[in-house]
Structure formats: C-alpha cells, structure tokens
Amino acid sequence: MSGYRAPWWLPGGHVQTLAAALGPAPRVVFVRERWGTPDGDFVDVDWAGNQGAARLLVLFHGLEGSSRSHYARSIAALAAASGWRVALPHFRGCSGEPNRLPRAYHSGDSDELDWMLRRFAGQGVALHAAGVSLGGNVLLKWLGERAAQARALVRRAAAISAPIDLAAAGAALDRGFNRRSYTRLFLATLKTKAYAKLALGQLQFDEQRMARARTLHEFDDLVTAPLHGFLDADDYWARAAAAPWLEHIAVPTLVLNAKNDPFLPAQALERATREASSRVLLESPPSGGHAGFPGRRQWLARRVLEFLSQS
C-alpha cells in the first residue's frame, strides 16, 4: 500500500468535483461482441487489448455502470497497455440497448456470472476476474458458492468497493447525503428502465408508488425483488449478499474497500469479513471513497493488476 495517496474524498464524506479529482477517463478502443444468452436474451461484451495475449481479465461493472465508467476505462487501459486481453461484459440492459426479457440484473446474479465466466474460460488463456461495486459483490458470491469449481476456472480475482453486506449498504445509501446524491442518480436511470419494461408489458408495478420512491429499498421492493424471484427487498438483500460466502472462497482474491466508502460503513465491512477464507486478502485504506482511490495516478488499476499478476 506504499503508493497510496490522499483520495478525492474530503473529511465528512463530501466530494470534490469528480472531473478534477479523477481526471479524464483514459481512452480505450473497445470492440463489441454480442452473446446470445441460454434463455433467449443477449449481453454485450466489450473487448480491448491484444487478441493473442496469454492472460484475460474479465471486469464486471457496478450498478448502472458500463465500459464507459471511469473505473472500467482506467483498469482496461492499463491492463491492455500491460499486455492483457480485457473483456467488459455488460449486465442485461446496461450496454445502451434494452434487453429482451422480463428480467434485468441484480447484486446476487451469480448464475449469470457463472455462465459468462465459463464461456470466457473457453478462450483457452489464463482467466482472471475483477468486479467493481455491484459487480464485485456478484463475483465474490460466485467465488464462494462455486469454491473449488471457481478455482478450476479462475486464477485470481479482485473485488473493488463491493457492498458485501447489502442491508448495511442499502441503509447507508438511503439516508442523508448519500440519498441526495448517489441514490438519486441511480434511481433516475433505474426508474427509466423500469417504466420502459412496464410499457412493453414485461413488468408490473404500482406507478404511484414508483413515482414516490426515493430510496433503493423502495425500488428493490417494487422491481428488483419481484422481477428476480425474491419475496421483497429485505429478502433480496439478505440472499444476494456476498458476505456469508467469503469463508468458502478458494481462489486467491483481493477485497479492496476504503474505510470511508459511503456505500459500506467500516464497521459493516469489518463484521462482514470476520470469517473470510485465508485465500481472501482484505485491504482497507483509510480513504478512497467508492472506487476512487484515486484515479489520477492510476493507483486503483495498478493495485488490481499487481495483485492479479502474482503467480
């Protein structure tokens, strides 16, 4: 951790202008490939780097993220420049085009992740995986659920700013500054997608309740939970959380969460990682916010690739 420097988070949790703090996102040349899913839907995968590379990094984005996200471009740019092949699969509905079926994606969608990683494993190169935020939680859950099977597929893994205790993260996001900033931005796109599915007859919900919804708990209660087979938001958050699976992880895995991450309070992180497997390396720098760490010196990308490159 010797290369760590002061982040873009100020005392008290307030944020500087992201553009000034992180700088412009690196330019990455992506080539898009569409995969048909086993249930008749599709996902889009953006590729970068040398096609003949011996190592493949699969990077899973966060809630409402994509290959356009700053963290995705930062990691992909450095990985490609370092000789890696990089793949950024988009969760359903996140690549800029609505998916076809009455389903979306969620924090515990490890079956979807399993299908993706098994297909990537067919590339015949050394496979590594990383996930940011929601993508990190799904990856950690998959690693714990599959345990030895995951070890046979993936060499090493990294989860960045993963909200591994979803109930604690949801509570943190649904109050105060977080609700006025992050949650409001997430809900703007989530609601738009939900209304689009409603218009297509792919989803049913109480429109008046949706109009009043101001928290992720309310949205997950109305949409995410019923759409994906959960009883309600509390059932979804409990069953989709990665924390209970950390003790079963067999793949060498970096879990990188800043202590001042507004999505997951430090006490909740400590509680959730108490029983983690010896294969899990937890790094908790005092600051860094949510996937900040910061971007201007490529610290996050360098740390992730440094860990994944170890033999």
pLDDT tens-digit map of 201-221: 999 999 999 999 999 999 999
1 domain residue, yes or no: no
* 69 and 153, same domain (yes or no): yes
Annotated catalytic residue 311: no
* 55 and 136, same domain (yes or no): yes
* 47 and 131, same domain (yes or no): yes
Instruction: Tell me how far apart the alpha carbons of residues 280 and 246 are, in angstroms, rounded to a whole number.
Output: 8
* 175 and 50, same domain (yes or no): no
183 domain residue, yes or no: yes
Residue 99 pLDDT greater than 50, yes or no: yes
126 burial (CB, 10 Å; 0-12 / 13-18 / 19+) is: middle
Question: By residue range, what is the domain housing residue 96?
Answer: 11-165+242-308
2 domain residue, yes or no: no
* 32 and 54, same domain (yes or no): yes
pLDDT tens digits along 262-278: 899 899 999 999 999 99
* 224 and 183, same domain (yes or no): yes
* 103 and 209, same domain (yes or no): no
298 domain residue, yes or no: yes
pLDDT range class, residue 292, cuts 50, 70, 90: confident
Encoding tokens for residue 283?
């790094």
pTM above 0.85, yes or no: yes
Instruction: Tell me how far apart the alpha carbons of residues 44 and 47 are, in angstroms, rounded to a whole number.
Output: 10
Please tell me which residue in 70, 90, 217, 290 is annotated as part of the active site.
290
Residue identified by tokens 């899990």 is: 280
Residue at which a domain ends, from 218, 240, 262: 240
* 248 and 130, same domain (yes or no): yes
Return phi, psi of residue 232, to 5°.
Answer: -165, -175
Instruction: Tell me how far apart the alpha carbons of residues 84 and 73 are, in angstroms, rounded to a whole number.
Output: 14
Annotated catalytic residue 261: yes
Residue at which a domain ends, from 240, 257, 284: 240
Instruction: Tell me how far apart the alpha carbons of residues 47 and 53 are, in angstroms, rounded to a whole number.
Output: 12
Residue 3 pLDDT greater than 50, yes or no: no
Please tell me which residue in 69, 74, 133, 161 is annotated as part of the active site.
133
CATH number of the CATH domain containing 43: 3.40.50.1820
Residue at which a domain ends, from 213, 240, 267: 240
* 31 and 177, same domain (yes or no): no
Amino acid present at 227: L
pLDDT at site 294:
54
pLDDT at site 174:
87
pLDDT tens digits along 132-187: 999 999 999 999 999 999 999 999 999 999 999 999 999 998 888 778 878 999 99
Q: Let me know: does 73 contact 66? Beta carbons within 8 Å.
A: no
pLDDT at site 9:
29
Residues 98, 99, 100, 101, CA torsion sign = negative
* 130 and 196, same domain (yes or no): no
How many domains does the chain divide into?
2
Please tell me which residue in 44, 46, 220, 261 is annotated as part of the active site.
261
Annotated catalytic residue 290: yes
